[in-house]
A = this chain, B = another copy of it.
Amino acid sequence: MAEYIESLQNLAEQFGRLNGVGRKSALRMAFSVLDMTDEEAADFARAIVDAKERIHLCPICQNLTDRELCYVCDDATRDRGVICVVSDAKTVIAMEKVREYRGMYHVLHGLLSPLNGMTPDKLKIKELLDRVKDGGVREVIVATGGDVEGETTAMYIAHLLRPLDIKVTRLAFGISVGTDIEYADEVTLFRALEGRRDV
């Protein structure tokens, strides 16, 4: 493919590094860039650098944000007594689509998987404990998946929080086992939220 146009090949390779983009799609995207005006291409390039520069973790919930606090932690109308623990920022987006959930979040940035080097210190678990210890939290909903990593992480968090006399719940399954939560439809997510159970 495009080996003979070095800068086109390079651009296609860059697209090919993105999650879930194959060789043919990457080349098609590179051609799309050539169809842009110079200004559009510059905007695109700037958006990449901007996103990387501006997006950081919310100091409270560890979700991605480009403001000081994320929009959930910054929203005074949300219920600070409930924290929904998720593995990543994409799951927050999925949960927010339900609209029924008015509590807070905590993003772990991964799931426990000791064999793959994902030990508790790699996740934002300490930050979660600190939040709970600060008081005011009635319930922690662990919204991790039904696979081994998701279950292990949920059990581990429940084990840590139990001595603090916090209600720890788990999303009901609702969610089909083996499906990434970010891909679950809204109704399924709503059912899962409604049917959450004590761990």
The residues of A with any CB-CB pair to B shorter than 8 Å are 1-2, 4-8, 10-11, 13-14, 17-21, 25, 27-36, 38, 40-55, 64-66, 70-72, 89-90, 93, 96
Majority secondary structure of chain A interface residues (helix, strand, loop or mixed): helix
Q: Residue on B with the closest CB to A96? A: B4
CB distance from A35 to the nearest CB of B (A): 8
Instruction: Tell me which residues across on chain B come within 8 A of A31, comparing CB atoms.
Output: 19, 89-90
26 residue pairs bridging A and B, Cβ less than 8 Å apart: A2-B93, A5-B66, A7-B47, A7-B50, A7-B51, A7-B54, A10-B47, A11-B47, A11-B50, A11-B51, A13-B47, A14-B44, A14-B48, A19-B29, A19-B31, A19-B32, A20-B25, A30-B51, A31-B89, A34-B51, A34-B64, A38-B52, A38-B53, A41-B52, A45-B45, A48-B48
The residue on B at minimum CB distance from A42 is B49
Q: A5-B70, A11-B48, A21-B29 are in contact. List 16 more A-B contacts (CB 8 A).
A: A2-B93, A4-B71, A5-B66, A7-B54, A7-B55, A17-B32, A18-B28, A19-B28, A19-B31, A19-B32, A20-B25, A33-B52, A34-B51, A36-B52, A38-B52, A48-B48
Residues of B within 8 A of A71 (CB): 4-5
Q: With A31-B90, A36-B52 known to touch, is A46 a contact of B45 (CB < 8 Å)?
A: yes
Q: What distance in Å separates the Cβ of A156 from its nearest Cβ neighbour in chain B? A: 24
Q: How many angstroms from the CA of A55 to the CA of B6 in the assembled complex? A: 9
**How many copies of this chain?**
2
Q: How far is the CB of A171 from chain B (nearest CB, A)?
A: 21
Q: How far is the CA of A110 from the CA of B90 in the complex (A)?
A: 40
Given contacts A20-B28, A28-B19, A29-B21, A44 and B48 within 8 Å (CB-CB)? yes
Taking A14-B43, A19-B28, A32-B18 as contacts, is the C-beta distance between A5 and B48 under 8 angstroms? no
- A33/B18 contact (C-beta < 8 A), A45-B48, A49-B41 known: yes
